[in-house]
């Protein structure tokens, strides 16, 4: 171990460790939850008032990477909200193969596509996704009326 690091480690207290874990897990999780919720309530729900947005259940969120569902009748599309830093950190962000598979599974079960929204605070940064969501809502409405894709 580098001598400077050894000294730093020797000065750590139990409270330092507790505070670090609290900030890393609880505060960041809470901040992420608030960011996701405000993206939906302050943006999507106002832009698309005909859609009923609901939080996904924890199993769908963790297993399927879906934060919110947007219900159009008995069909739904999915919303995955990421901080804009995710896009910056990975260049042109691309869902993993696991995420792609869970998105396909979601589409089979609920009928709608999954959209990834990048945000800063409650502001949507990839605004082009709004037009894609608008088209998906129209497609799902058409399906509700007995139309075909």
pLDDT in tens, 35-92: 566 678 778 999 999 999 998 887 665 555 888 999 999 999 999 888 776 544 444 4
pLDDT in tens, 88-119: 444 444 556 777 888 899 999 999 999 998 88
Per the CB < 8 A criterion, the answer to whether 106 and 69 are in contact is no
Query: What's the CA gap between 28 and 125, in Å, rounded?
Result: 20
Query: What's the CA gap between 23 and 36, in Å, rounded?
Result: 18
Q: What average pLDDT does the segment 7-26 reach?
A: 66
Query: What's the CA gap between 83 and 119, in Å, rounded?
Result: 5
Query: What's the CA gap between 82 and 84, in Å, rounded?
Result: 6
Which pLDDT score is estimated for 20? 58
Which pLDDT score is estimated for 133? 97
Query: What's the CA gap between 122 and 17, in Å, rounded?
Result: 30
**pTM of the full predicted structure?**
0.69
């Amino acid at each position: 171990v580098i001598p400077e690091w050894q000294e730093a480690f020797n000065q750590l207290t139990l409270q330092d460790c507790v505070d670090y874990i609290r900030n890393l897990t609880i505060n960041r999780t809470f901040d992420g939850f608030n960011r996701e919720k405000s993206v939906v309530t302050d943006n999507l729900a106002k832009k698309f008032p005909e859609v009923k947005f609901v939080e996904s259940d924890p199993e769908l969120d963790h297993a399927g990477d879906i934060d919110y569902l947007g219900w159009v009748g008995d069909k739904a599309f999915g919303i995955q909200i990421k901080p804009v830093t995710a896009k910056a950190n990975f260049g042109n962000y691309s869902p993993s193969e696991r995420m792609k598979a869970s998105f396909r599974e979601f589409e089979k079960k609920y009928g709608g596509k999954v959209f990834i929204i990048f945000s800063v605070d409650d502001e949507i940064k990839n605004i082009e996704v709004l037009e894609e969501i608008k088209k998906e809502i129209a497609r799902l409405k058409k399906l509700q009326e007995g139309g075909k894709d």
